[in-house]
Amino acid sequence: MRKSSPVRNWSQFDRQIRNGDAKLLANLSRFPDAILVAGCQRSGTTAVTRILREAIEMPDLTFSSDDELDAALILSGAIKLETSARCCFQTTYVNDHVHEYFEHDNYKLVWILRNPEAVIRSMLYHWRRGALNRLFRACGRHALDEKRAKRFNRFGTHGFRRVEMACLSYNVKTAQVHELAARLGPERLCILDYDDLISRSDTLLPDIFSFASVSYDERFRSRLRTRNRPKREQLNESTRIRIREMCEHEYRKAVRLAENWR
């Protein structure tokens, strides 16, 4: 099913929908027993979402080249459609509207963690500045101390290095899993580390399918792939140290939740 979209990109989505009074998950109740996939951006959520969509034989609800943006438009109600089929939506875009997950109870949520070095490297090399700016405004700025908050209020994102913005955004987004775990519980929230999923796909991928009440087929393992990084994408040692200093503690706390879930 294809519709014409009133919003063409994430900048327009923020201006027209996120920054207004609209709820980002307003239409979630129209999709009973939905599967949602989220986590920090650049953590492998797209790959997991697409596998689950294929597994449940979800109808084609996309109308652009960005299926997460399409999901955001559908769930916020900007695009009106009806389907009786079970659906799977990527909802990493929810960001600072995380409280909306608690306004619905007709879904299961798969939350994907990933080590901060891999995530932040991807943010630095595979994201335009605008994407990082939007995530920082929605999440990262909430981790600023008073002095840096004043700098942000005066200069916006121009007053910060990209690696600092990425680290702060990663921490705030990753930390959301703790409230989600406390309020949703293991029956409605599955927490997995993407790197573990890659290395132990023979056991962890079936776990996701079982959690989502989806029949597992071995062929889906082939959809999980990592690629070798070009040399130009290697982080220098000082940047790697900075990432570890800023993010490793938050990551390890979240990993403990994933270990408890299993």
Convert the pLDDT of each residue in 1-38 to its tens digit. 445 567 889 999 999 999 888 899 999 999 999 999 99
Q: What angle do CA 155, 124, 172 make, to 5 degrees?
A: 65
In a domain, 1, yes or no: no
Q: How many domains does the chain have?
A: 1
Task: Give me 197's structure tokens.
Answer: 């999923």
In a domain, 4, yes or no: no
In a domain, 200, yes or no: yes
User: Domain residues for 38?
Assistant: 10-223+232-261
In a domain, 2, yes or no: no
Q: What does the pLDDT look like over 183-241, one tens digit per residue?
A: 999 999 999 999 999 999 999 999 999 999 999 989 898 878 665 566 557 899 999 99
Residues with Cβ within 8 Å of 257's Cβ and at least 6 positions away in sequence, in order, are 177, 178, 181, 191
Task: Give me 198's structure tokens.
Answer: 């890659």
Specify which residues 193 forms β-bridges with: 113
In a domain, 44, yes or no: yes
Strand-by-strand arrangement of the 107-113 sheet: 88-90, 34-39, 107-113, 189-193
CATH code of the domain covering residue 53: 3.40.50
